[in-house]
Amino acid sequence: MKDSNKNNNQASSEEEKNRSKEEPKSGQTNSDQIIDDVTNGEYKYGFVSDIETEIIPAGLNEDVIRLISSKKGEPEWLLEFRLKAYRHWLTLEQPTWAHLNIPEIDFQAISYYAAPVKKEGPKLLDEVDPELLRTFDRLGIPLEEQKVLSGMAVDAVMDSASVKTTHREKLAELGIIFCSFSEAVKDYPDLVRKYLGKVVSYRDNFYAALNSAVFSDGSFVYIPKGVRCPMELSTYFRINSSGTGQFERTLIVADDDAYVSYLEGCTAPMRDENQLHAAIVEIIVENRAEVKYSTVQNWYAGDAEGRGGIYNFVTKRGLCRGDHSKLSWTQVETGSAITWKYPSCILSGENSIGEFYSVAVTRNRQQADTGTKMIHTGRNSRSTIVSKGISAGHSENSYRGLVKIAANADGCRNHTQCDSLLLGSHCGAHTFPYVEVLNESAIVEHEATTSKISEDQLFYCNQRGIPTEEAVALIVNGYAKEVMNKLPMEFAVEAQRLLEISLEGSVG
C-alpha cells in the first residue's frame, strides 16, 4: 500500500521535472524558487515493512516498565535502575531552552515496546524473518554475512529490538564484544553494570531519564586493552511500527590502547504522526585509546507542510578519562522533524582530545538545535569543533555549543569554527556559543560565518554548463567537505549521496 504511494510521488516529481524543462528560462527567474525546487527532494526510505510485531499498549507507568524488563528477562538491579530513572523523570519538565518549537508530546499515547516477533534459540540467518532481511536490504544494509562487505560489522535494530548482529564470532576471537544491548545484559552483566549510566546519568536531563526508564535495545561494544578493531562497527536503527517510540541505548568502552570506529545510521517510514526517538549513547575512552563515532542521521523529516516526522531528542556523551585518549564525533544530520542533540566530550584525561565535526541540513519545516559540549577538566586537553549548518525552505537551524575549561585544567585549547549556509530567504540560521573559561592559560578560539548560495554562483555554474540542481549539490558538498572528509570511506560516499538526495528536486 505504502509502496504504491511512494511510486506515485516519484511519478509526480518526474512530471514536475518535465514541466519545468518546458518553461523558457529567459526573463527573471526567482533564485529562491530555484532553490526551493532544488531542495524539495523525496524521502526514499519512507516505506513500511509488513513484519509481525509485538507491541505493548500505549502508556507509561511502573507496571509498563516492569513489563519491558520482564520481557527482556532482566536482572533485578536493572529493573531498579529503570524504576529509579522513571521516578526521577516524573519530577522533571520537558526542557524549553532550545531554539525549537516543540508541539506538546503526550507521553501516555506512546507505546514503549515494539519488537519484531522472533523465534527462540540461536540466531541463524535463515531464522530471521525474510521480510526483515528484505527491509534492511532495501535500506542498503545487507545482513547476510557472505554479502556484507569486508570491513564492516552490522547490528540492526528494528523498533525496540536488535534484529541481527553480524561478524560476532570473528570479532570475539580478538576479545571484542559487539552485540545488542539486551544480549550484553545477559552475557556480560558485570561489564554493563560497571559502565551503564556512568557518563550519562539518568538524572542528566528529561529525555535521558525517560530513556533510562524505558530503553529497549541498542548496541554494546567493548574493545579490550591493546586491540585495534579491524573493521568498522555499525548499527542501523529503523523505526517501523506506528504509534511507538524508539529508545535505544548504546554503550561503547575502549580500554587502554584500544581503537574502534563506530558508525550509526537511522531511517523511518513516512507517516503523518510524529514519533519520538530518545536515545542515549555513552562512550568511555581509557588511556591512549581512540574512538571515532560517526552518524548519518536520516530519520523521516516530515512533509513539506511539516506534518509527521521523527522527534530526535538524543543525549550522546563520551568520557575521555584516560591520558592521551581521543574521541571524535562526526555527524551528518539530514533527517528528523526536530533535532535536539549535543554529542559531547568530557576531557578529564591529561592530553586528551575531543573532536566534533557536524553537517546539519534542515529544509521544509525542519528544526534543528544541535552542537556539542567540550568540558575540559584534564590538563593540556584539546578540542576542535567544526559545525556546518545548511538551512533551506522554512527551516530553523541552530548551533549550540559549550566550551568549558575547569580551573585546574592548565594548557587547554579549543578551536571552534561554526558556519551557516542559507539556501533561500525564509529559513533561519542561529549560533549560540557558550564559553566558560576558569583557567588563564587556556586558548579558546571561535570563528563563525554565514553565507548564502548566491545567484552569482549559480549563474557562474550555469554558464559553464552545470545545471542548477547539480550546481547546488556541488556547492553544498564543497561547503561540507571539511566534515565529509572525516567520515570513514564507505560512509562518506553514502553521506555525500544523502546530501545530494536530500537537496534533490525538480529543476530540469
Q: Are 323 and 353 in contact (CB under 8 A)?
A: no
Among 258, 422, 480, 487, binds other proteins (CB under 8 A): 480
Supply the DSSP symbol for 126. Answer: G
Rounded to an integer, what distance in angstroms lies between the CA atom of residue 143 and that of residue 125? 8
Residues 6+ apart with CB under 8 A from 458: 31, 34, 468, 471, 472
Find the part of the chain contacting other proteins (CB under 8 A) among 36-44, 132-140, 427-435, 455-463.
455-463
Cα-trace Rg, the chain:
23
- Minimum distance of other proteins from residue 456's CB (angstroms): 5
- Minimum distance of other proteins from residue 482's CB (angstroms): 7
Find the part of the chain contacting other proteins (CB under 8 A) among 172-180, 238-246, 338-346, 450-458.
450-458
Residues 6+ apart with CB under 8 A from 277: 237, 239, 245, 246, 247, 266, 268, 299, 310, 311, 312, 313, 314, 336
Among 1, 22, 27, 122, binds other proteins (CB under 8 A): 27
Under the binding rule (CB under 8 A), the answer on residue 425 touching other proteins is: no
105 class by beta-carbon count within 10 Å (0-12 exposed, 13-18 middle, 19+ buried): middle
Of 77 and 460, nearer to other proteins (C-beta) is: 460
Under the binding rule (CB under 8 A), the answer on residue 454 touching other proteins is: yes
- Minimum distance of other proteins from residue 41's CB (angstroms): 19
3-state secondary structure 368-397: EEEEEEEEECCCCCEEEEEEEEEECCCCEE
Q: Tell me the three state secondary structure of residue 53.
A: strand
- Minimum distance of other proteins from residue 461's CB (angstroms): 8
Binding-residue total with other proteins (CB under 8 A): 30
Under the binding rule (CB under 8 A), the answer on residue 466 touching other proteins is: yes
Of 50 and 447, nearer to other proteins (C-beta) is: 447
Under the binding rule (CB under 8 A), the answer on residue 455 touching other proteins is: yes
Under the binding rule (CB under 8 A), the answer on residue 440 touching other proteins is: no
**Phi then psi for 241, rounded to 5 degrees?**
-75, 150
Residues 6+ apart with CB under 8 A from 430: 99, 396, 397, 398, 399
- Minimum distance of other proteins from residue 388's CB (angstroms): 10
Q: Tell me the three state secondary structure of residue 286.
A: coil
Closest to 297 measured CA to CA, from 329, 327, 253, 273: 329
Q: What is the number of alpha carbons within 13 Å of residue 393 lying toward its C-beta? A: 24
Among 422, 475, 498, 499, binds other proteins (CB under 8 A): 475
- Write down how long the chain is: 508
Under the binding rule (CB under 8 A), the answer on residue 194 touching other proteins is: no
- Minimum distance of other proteins from residue 471's CB (angstroms): 8
Under the binding rule (CB under 8 A), the answer on residue 474 touching other proteins is: yes
Among 200, 437, 461, 492, binds other proteins (CB under 8 A): 461
Rounded to an integer, what distance in angstroms lies between the CA atom of residue 355 and that of residue 343? 10
Among 19, 25, 87, 134, binds other proteins (CB under 8 A): 25
- Minimum distance of other proteins from residue 466's CB (angstroms): 5
Give the position of cell 556484507. Answer: 148
Site for other proteins in 300-359 (CB under 8 A): none
Among 42, 470, 490, 500, binds other proteins (CB under 8 A): 470
Supply the DSSP symbol for 111. Answer: B
Under the binding rule (CB under 8 A), the answer on residue 482 touching other proteins is: yes
- Minimum distance of other proteins from residue 475's CB (angstroms): 6
Under the binding rule (CB under 8 A), the answer on residue 450 touching other proteins is: no
- Minimum distance of other proteins from residue 488's CB (angstroms): 20
Strand partners, 482: none
Among 1, 4, 26, 104, binds other proteins (CB under 8 A): 26
Find the part of the chain contacting other proteins (CB under 8 A) among 25-33, 265-273, 488-496, 498-506.
25-33
Of 274 and 506, nearer to other proteins (C-beta) is: 506
Contacts with other proteins by CB under 8 A lie at 24-29, 31, 454-457, 459-468, 470, 474-475, 477-482
